[in-house]
Structure 1
Amino acid sequence: MSAQGSKMNVWQLTILTAVNMMGSGIIMLPTKLAQVGTISIISWAITAGGSIALAYVFARCGMLSKKPGGMGGYAEYAFGKGGNYMANYTYGLSLVIANVAIAITAVGYLVVLFNMELSPLQTCIWSIVLLIITTVANFGGARITGRIGAVTVWGVIIPVVAVALLGWFWFSGSTWLAAWNPNNLPFGTAVGASISLTLWAFLGLESACANADAVENPERDVPVAVMGGTLGAAVIYILSTNVIAGIIPDQELAASTAPFGLAFAHMFSPMVGSIVMALMVIACIGSLLGWQFTVAQVFKSSADVGYFLPIFGRATKNGTPIIGMLVLLVAQVALALMTISPNLSAQFERVVNLAVVTNLVPYVMCMAAIFAIQKVRRVPRSKQIFTNVIALIGAAYSYYALWSSGTEALMLGGLCIFLGWTLFGFVSARFYDADIRAKVKHPGLALQD
């Protein structure tokens, strides 16, 4: 078989993209959306449109950029070395925060599965225990844990897709309508209240173009697959969360910490509900295993090229950045303690909002960078205009999502960004060494302080 014949077609890449996007982010959403109401279906539509715009621009960036480093490399075209650093810093930070949210999700399902009652402090402690276990489990390298994650993710995907397809047999239109806007919030407030929550399910869409080398015609197929995969994930998300809202009365759903398990208990039996809860706990732990290594690797890669502090670049003989993992674990423990809330659902929302805010920083930077990337790569003006318009739509949605995340998340996110600029001061000088040496070799060039 030829190399060309072994590559994926656009349909296969679309499916792969959708599957990669559908992780543990959806597991707690039915509960949080029930607290807003089924009016959140409008939020889903807005977020789906914004996510497709973002995904398309990321695909174009991936096709055109010649700089390494993913989003950092894209941002460098418009913002220089400092932009490369800030994009990678905020992206890495958002992954650190997201891991705390995944741990909280797993605890929420464990509480229901084993019929436990935990205080806010106990919930926090169990979340920290999961973070510690999944960090230590990665000390031997990511080979085994990576394989575990590739299998356990189906513990989320299968129940979510099953609800989206089969749940209609138990769906009640009157139950769904009764949950439209239970708090009688103004329209704009109600829609905005769930924007960051719906975007949480799509985080990771920027990695959807990582398989460009595996398709036959990447310039044509990658943008189509990225948009198609994002749209496919959106349809499944919208169907599954809204079907559940039509199966379970709003007050019961809003109080649950294991909404998919509750849905299957209503549809079939408590035993089936317990099996689904167990599958989702396993999926969360598998996801956390993979992401704990991934986030340490993101920091290590940036440290290796000089953007992050050297401590994150230290690794064992098998390439595992154990010291970096421990530093990030301390940050995760601190975050879990900082976000202790009266109930697990409230803590989950606080962490998710902060993860979304920090993740949107590189998104906004990349939406701006595509203007420079296209000029540098001499893209025909007619093609530039279309992509630029899509980028403006993606940027507008990003700002709306930032505003909708709330003042606390924006304040904490702003503090994290300012801290990032301070940390950049420790490493920034090395980026100018090459320029200074070059100027010293040419005395005619004036050196500037």
Structure 2
Amino acid sequence: MSGPDTEGPQGNAEAPKRKLGLIAAIALIMGNMIGSGVFLLPASLAPFGWNAVFAWIIVTAGTMVLAWVFASLTKMMPEARVPAGFVTAAFGEVPAFLVNWAYWVSVWTAVISIAVAAVSYLSSFVPAIGETALAPALSAIGLVWAMTLINLRGVRAAGNFQIVTLLLKVIPLLAIIVIAAIAFGDGSAEVRPFAMREINGLDLRAAAALTFFALLGFECASMAAARVENPEINVPRATMWGTALTGMIYLLVCSAVGLMLPEAVATTSPAPLATFVEYYWSPGPAALVALFAIISCVGAVNGWILMQGELPRSMAEQRTLPRWFGATDARGTPARALIVSSVIATICLALNSSRSMQGIYEFVLLLSTSAALWLYLAVALAAWRLKVVRPFAAIGAAYALWTLWGAGIEASGWSLVLMLSGYPLYWWAKREKATA
């Protein structure tokens, strides 16, 4: 290894002390999952009523199935290192590249949507952000680059930052659960009445597509397996624990806000959790919740930016992206991949600057969900073909297809187009390898 711009697998090696332990891996998963979804989704889900509650139950169960498939494959095939390695073993290199590229698209689109959510909550402290046309996009761009600078310091710095922000972001979520329990217990809660006739497949699918975005990230430890200590043990444990804990928190918090706030109040709130606290408690604590929500989103942006650097680096190591993307600095940080990803996120934010904050959030949310689902579907089908936990693989594949359907033709179609757009870079990498 010869300096700050070393290339190839040797240039990416890190000493064990720089790797993520089990707690940091769980923090990476939960920190990426607990981002904007739980803090902003209640506004989007409020019109669905009890359909949203059932959607959370179905999506959490389906995500746990997919998490078990990922964990089982990691145990059976530790040499695969990343989820795309399972797809390569089952179907070959080209399908693996396409779904891996689609997942990279989902990562930087997730960065965009979470950054927008952070700005939405920040607007409750600085109203001028929501009143100026370009301010939301510019503020989100500033957040993306601030977190990129932290990640450029190395994976250890990003991991420590993730642990701290996870501890802070859980505080308001636990407060919401306690407030909801007290309000329900003393009879002051105005719970939306349950009517079976309101439950229907159309609303359930639409709500599920939105809620699934909040659970993206359960695969992050698998994606960053090269940066995790004892990955054959810690990656499956972190995947299952992180997914289960996050799903339970989401179900309780989002159901409380969606069913106990009047629909008109929830749908128009830029900060629904803060509105819930103000409605059932007082404005002072509500402002504190908004502050914690910003911290939560910042932590999630940090974790996803870590992923948007690690994924191209890993693909370059596997020679499915040009080696240029795999270059690392003296800390083992894939600086080029990080900067390219953040530049793309910046361009997308600039192109969508004319939309409202909620409009940007919901469109990019569905695009990110659809792009990630192609990888989940491919891994589930790979598990079936490789004869690993086949019953779970079949359920996971059916669940991924159902969620793609629910995301709608626009988002799923764009995700497919963006997936195919990466093929020229794959061709470049193969030509580079042949020349070498």
TM-score (norm 1): 0.81
The equivalent residue for 1:252 is 265
* Pick aligned residue for 2:325 from 290, 303, 312: 312
What fraction of aligned residue pairs are identical, expressed as a percent?
Answer: 26
* Pick aligned residue for 2:208 from 177, 195, 209: 195
* Pick aligned residue for 1:55 from 45, 67, 83: 67
- Alignment-mate amino acid for residue 89 of structure 2: Y
State the distance in 2 between where 1:23 and 1:105 align. 12
Specify whether residues 82 and 247 from structure 1 end up closer, same or farther in structure 2 by C-alpha distance, changes over 3 A only.
same
The equivalent residue for 1:111 is 123
Specify whether residues 399 and 140 from structure 1 end up closer, same or farther in structure 2 by C-alpha distance, changes over 3 A only.
same
In structure 2, list runs of 5 or more residues that go unmatched. Answer: 1-20
Is 1:303–1:313's contact at 8 Å kept on the other side of the alignment? yes
State the distance in 1 between where 2:100 and 2:291 align. 34
* Pick aligned residue for 2:46 from 22, 34, 37: 34
The equivalent residue for 2:16 is none
Is 2:28–2:162's contact at 8 Å kept on the other side of the alignment? no
Is 2:209–2:407's contact at 8 Å kept on the other side of the alignment? yes
Q: CA deviation at 1:398?
A: 0.4
Is 1:364–1:398's contact at 8 Å kept on the other side of the alignment? yes
Is 1:176–1:242's contact at 8 Å kept on the other side of the alignment? no
* Pick aligned residue for 2:191 from 170, 176, 179: 176
Is 2:147–2:305's contact at 8 Å kept on the other side of the alignment? yes
Q: CA deviation at 1:401?
A: 0.6
State the distance in 2 between where 1:346 and 1:424 align. 33
Specify whether residues 341 and 409 from structure 1 end up closer, same or farther in structure 2 by C-alpha distance, changes over 3 A only.
farther
| 1:65-97: CA deviation from partner (whole Å, max 9, x where unpaired) | 143331111111112122332232222221111
Is 1:112–1:257's contact at 8 Å kept on the other side of the alignment? yes
Q: CA deviation at 1:341?
A: 5.9
Q: CA deviation at 1:100?
A: 0.5
Larger deviation, residues 425-434 vs 231-240: 425-434
Give SS of 1:307's match.
coil
- Alignment-mate amino acid for residue 369 of structure 2: V
- Alignment-mate amino acid for residue 253 of structure 1: A
* Pick aligned residue for 1:45 from 57, 66, 70: 57
In structure 1, list runs of 5 or more residues that go unmatched. Answer: 1-7, 375-383, 435-449
* Within-5 A mapping of 1:329-408: 329-340=342-353, 342-374=355-387, 387-408=389-410
* Within-5 A mapping of 1:45-444: 45-116=57-128, 117-171=130-184, 175-177=190-192, 187-207=200-220, 213=230, 227=240, 230-340=243-353, 342-374=355-387, 387-429=389-431
Give SS of 2:151's match.
coil
- Alignment-mate amino acid for residue 67 of structure 2: A
Aligned residues: 408
State the distance in 2 between where 1:88 and 1:18 align. 18
Q: CA deviation at 1:388?
A: 1.1
- Alignment-mate amino acid for residue 95 of structure 1: V
- Alignment-mate amino acid for residue 301 of structure 2: L
The structure with more radius of gyration: 1
Q: CA deviation at 1:110?
A: 0.1
Structure 1 stretches of 4+ moved >6 Å:
12-18, 221-225, 431-434
Larger deviation, residues 197-206 vs 156-165: 156-165
Larger deviation, residues 415-424 vs 305-314: 305-314
State the distance in 1 between where 2:429 and 2:299 align. 34
| 1:202-237: CA deviation from partner (whole Å, max 9, x where unpaired) | 11222466679489xx5xx98788556534432221
Q: CA deviation at 1:125?
A: 2.0
State the distance in 2 between where 1:149 and 1:134 align. 11
State the distance in 2 between where 1:50 and 1:167 align. 26
Q: CA deviation at 1:43?
A: 1.0
Specify whether residues 17 and 112 from structure 1 end up closer, same or farther in structure 2 by C-alpha distance, changes over 3 A only.
closer
Q: CA deviation at 1:343?
A: 2.5
Specify whether residues 240 and 22 from structure 1 end up closer, same or farther in structure 2 by C-alpha distance, changes over 3 A only.
same
State the distance in 2 between where 1:180 and 1:108 align. 32
Is 1:196–1:356's contact at 8 Å kept on the other side of the alignment? yes
Specify whether residues 133 and 176 from structure 1 end up closer, same or farther in structure 2 by C-alpha distance, changes over 3 A only.
same
State the distance in 1 between where 2:29 and 2:101 align. 26
Specify whether residues 146 and 17 from structure 1 end up closer, same or farther in structure 2 by C-alpha distance, changes over 3 A only.
closer
State the distance in 2 between where 1:14 and 1:306 align. 26
| 1:263-313: CA deviation from partner (whole Å, max 9, x where unpaired) | 222233211111111122123223323332331122122213311123312
The equivalent residue for 2:4 is none
Give SS of 1:203's match.
coil
State the distance in 2 between where 1:102 and 1:29 align. 11
State the distance in 1 between where 2:137 and 2:120 align. 11
Specify whether residues 87 and 431 from structure 1 end up closer, same or farther in structure 2 by C-alpha distance, changes over 3 A only.
farther
Give SS of 2:124's match.
helix
State the distance in 2 between where 1:320 and 1:14 align. 18
Give SS of 1:91's match.
helix
Q: CA deviation at 1:147?
A: 1.5
Question: RMSD across aligned C-alpha pairs, in angstroms?
Answer: 3.2
State the distance in 2 between where 1:55 and 1:48 align. 10
The equivalent residue for 1:23 is 34
Is 1:34–1:179's contact at 8 Å kept on the other side of the alignment? no
| 1:376-418: CA deviation from partner (whole Å, max 9, x where unpaired) | xxxxxxxx5xx21211111111011101111221121011011
The equivalent residue for 2:12 is none
- Alignment-mate amino acid for residue 176 of structure 1: V
Specify whether residues 37 and 246 from structure 1 end up closer, same or farther in structure 2 by C-alpha distance, changes over 3 A only.
closer
Is 1:149–1:289's contact at 8 Å kept on the other side of the alignment? yes
Specify whether residues 263 and 149 from structure 1 end up closer, same or farther in structure 2 by C-alpha distance, changes over 3 A only.
same
| 1:344-396: CA deviation from partner (whole Å, max 9, x where unpaired) | 1221111110111110111111111113333xxxxxxxxx5xx2121111111
State the distance in 1 between where 2:365 and 2:283 align. 29
Is 1:296–1:324's contact at 8 Å kept on the other side of the alignment? yes
| 1:93-126: CA deviation from partner (whole Å, max 9, x where unpaired) | 2111101111011001000123333345322222
